Structure 1
Amino acid sequence: MFGNWLKTSLLMAGIVALFGVIGSLLGGVQGMLLALAFGGAMNVFAYWNSDKMVLRMYNAREVDEASSPYLFNMVRELAGRAGLPMPRVYIIDEAQPNAFATGRNPENAAVAATTGILQMLSQRELRGVMAHELAHVQHRDILISTISATMAGAISALANFAVFFGGRDSEGRPANPLAGILVALLAPLAASLIQMAISRSREFEADRGGAEISGDPLALADALTKIDAYARGIPMEAAEAHPETAQMMIMNPLSGSGLAGLFSTHPATAERVARLRQMSR
């Protein structure tokens, strides 16, 4: 638990520092101070509201035992096995098979699954996926992924703002157009690298923890194999519109490949499956 709080603190500090660098490039000392204040305020806002924002981005609808007994009862059984409070349960109307967990702590957690994953996976495979998401809750790293998604989006927006509304000279032209362009290109990349450094190790740990919660490592291995085979060919519009949230999913929902794969927040599926199969032996 202490390790994840340390990661969260480092993440927040890194993001605020990035805000400061952008502000300094755009407006000197005054710009840096304003950006640092904005970054600090965004961190506080993200801590309390980022889970609601992400669920709203995906138009997730909350379900209960009456409206979705299959999923709700599965999550309740697994939460009991993990010794966790019952999280809120959401369904996302997307054909791509995927799922994620969010919230600032286990007492305020939520798990979400797409309609695609509910239709595609067997009960055993879906149980493995939901156990993986509850492992994220159990490890208390859902705050890290949710805050990093929100802050990365804010940095991208600030970087784009910098291109059009950066410092101006007496004639109304950008005082440093090259700096604005570099900020627009490099700031989102830096935010993505921060996300990537944290997210890849989290996925391996959640795979291991999910296998322990469900008691069936091969169920998650089979689910990951099936999701990987289908997810790439089925676009998810909400994820494409908000790529900073991709690292929250059990599988990368973005359609990009090639160079984009170098900056993927998810480890290779084959390696994840191999580790799970090793656990089963």
Structure 2
Amino acid sequence: MTSYLKTTVLLAGLTALFVGMGYLLGGQGGMMIAFVMALGMNLFTYWNSGSMVLSMYGAQEVDATSAPQFYGIVQQLAQRAALPMPRVYVIHSGQPNAFATGRNPENAAVAATTGLFDRLSAEEIAGVMAHELAHVKNRDTLIMTVTATIAGAISMLANFGMFFGGSSSNDERGGNPLGFVGSLLMMIVAPFAAMIVQMAVSRTREYEADRIGAEICGRPDWLATALVRIHEGVAHTVEPHAEANPATAHLFIVNPLHGRSFDSLFSTHPAVENRVARLHAMSGYAPQPSGPWGGARRSPWG
């Protein structure tokens, strides 16, 4: 199954779960109420998600004058990817990481932390930003915004059902057709299932962004090396904004939350070693016994 088809199936499953939640809560009337709520929430996040996330992390916009090397890397990569030039931001954080946001390529933004500049070479930064531009090219930022919004709405409905319950009758006005069993499923199983689907969508998009990002920069090994260095940096550096807002973890190239980087149903990202192995397979790169990350080379990105 291709990553695009898998993402479509997962999103369809999440949507069906949300509709089912509305039905369990209030029958056909509950489904309609849930649909209207979801529509309003998605419209709001569609227009405001990018600015909200950037503000949350205190990101500062830069240009060719204030950050010439970083801006130049993004500019060259955007040209190679045939994308409009995104807005470029810097986040003052010691943790090396980066993310992309925006509802479409015309309104996209990419952001990187100062910790990324401190730990990575220009080549590795190019690999990271190519990955983020791949997210923009694939419109993953919109997909993940919709996924997170629906998952959040499911949790909200579960809380509502826990406090108010659903009607046990199944009359013309609707109501919970499964009674207590339906309420129990709504309160416990549905949010858990929504979380798993959200994580699966995110992991699928990360593998695809790695592949396309490697094609954009032309060097899969640059991104592979960068992922290892970022993973090591995240393990030793806490990002307070991310810890306070775990719902944004899926945006970053490497999970910024401590203790959540393993490849399981509960992780927003695939394991770094799995991603690196795929990138090595793309380039036919074979690590040497002394270690795969030495021997940095200069490049046009510097």
Distance in 2 between residues matched to 1:165 and 1:53, nearest whole Å: 31
Distance in 1 between residues matched to 2:52 and 2:9, nearest whole Å: 22
Name stretches of at least 5 consecutive residues in structure 1 with no aligned partner. Answer: 170-174
1:200 to 194, 203, 218: 203
Distance in 2 between residues matched to 1:259 and 1:145, nearest whole Å: 20
Q: TM-score, normalised by structure 2?
A: 0.77
Flag the structure with higher helix content. 1
| Aligned residue in 2 for 1:66 | 65
Bigger radius of gyration: 2
Shift of 1:75: 0.6
Name stretches of at least 5 consecutive residues in structure 2 with no aligned partner. Answer: 169-175, 285-302
Paired amino acid for 1:226: R
2:247 to 244, 248, 253: 244
Distance in 1 between residues matched to 2:262 and 2:244, nearest whole Å: 19
Give the direction of change, closer, same or farther, for the CA distance of 1:97–1:179 in structure 2 (3 Å limit). Answer: farther
Q: Give the match's secondary structure for 1:232.
A: helix
Give the direction of change, closer, same or farther, for the CA distance of 1:139–1:275 in structure 2 (3 Å limit). Answer: same
- Aligned residues of 1:97 and 1:114 also touching (Cα < 8 A): yes
| Aligned residue in 2 for 1:18 | 17
Shift of 1:48: 2.7
Distance in 2 between residues matched to 1:123 and 1:207, nearest whole Å: 18
Query: How many residues were matched structurally?
Result: 273
| Aligned residue in 1 for 2:37 | 38
Distance in 2 between residues matched to 1:213 and 1:139, nearest whole Å: 13
Shift of 1:28: 4.1
1:177-219 residue CA offsets vs partner (Å, 9 max, x unmatched):
8866654443432222222332223222211211121122111
Distance in 2 between residues matched to 1:86 and 1:258, nearest whole Å: 31
Distance in 1 between residues matched to 2:214 and 2:256, nearest whole Å: 22
| Aligned residue in 1 for 2:232 | 229
Distance in 2 between residues matched to 1:187 and 1:203, nearest whole Å: 25
| Aligned residue in 1 for 2:48 | 49
Shift of 1:158: 4.1
Q: Give the match's secondary structure for 1:262.
A: coil
Distance in 2 between residues matched to 1:280 and 1:260, nearest whole Å: 23
Shift of 1:100: 1.2
- Aligned residues of 1:224 and 1:273 also touching (Cα < 8 A): yes
Distance in 1 between residues matched to 2:261 and 2:96, nearest whole Å: 22
- Aligned residues of 1:196 and 1:265 also touching (Cα < 8 A): yes
Comparing 51-60 and 251-260, the one that deviates more: 251-260
Distance in 2 between residues matched to 1:161 and 1:55, nearest whole Å: 30
Paired amino acid for 2:90: I
- Aligned residues of 1:50 and 1:147 also touching (Cα < 8 A): no
Shift of 1:226: 1.0
Shift of 1:231: 0.8
Shift of 1:167: 5.5
- Aligned residues of 1:51 and 1:146 also touching (Cα < 8 A): no
| Aligned residue in 1 for 2:289 | none
Distance in 2 between residues matched to 1:43 and 1:126, nearest whole Å: 32
Shift of 1:19: 3.3
Q: Give the match's secondary structure for 1:100.
A: strand
- Aligned residues of 2:86 and 2:110 also touching (Cα < 8 A): yes
Q: Give the match's secondary structure for 1:235.
A: coil
Comparing 155-164 and 226-235, the one that deviates more: 155-164
Is residue 156 from structure 1 mapped to residue 155 from structure 2 by the alignment? Answer: yes
Distance in 2 between residues matched to 1:50 and 1:114, nearest whole Å: 19
Comparing 190-199 and 100-109, the one that deviates more: 190-199
| Aligned residue in 2 for 1:99 | 98
Q: Give the match's secondary structure for 1:77.
A: helix
Distance in 2 between residues matched to 1:85 and 1:276, nearest whole Å: 26
1:25-60 residue CA offsets vs partner (Å, 9 max, x unmatched):
334443332112111222333333322333233332
Give the direction of change, closer, same or farther, for the CA distance of 1:259–1:72 in structure 2 (3 Å limit). Answer: closer
1:112-161 residue CA offsets vs partner (Å, 9 max, x unmatched):
11222222211111111001111112223232123223333343344344
Q: Give the match's secondary structure for 1:62.
A: strand
Q: Give the match's secondary structure for 2:112.
A: strand
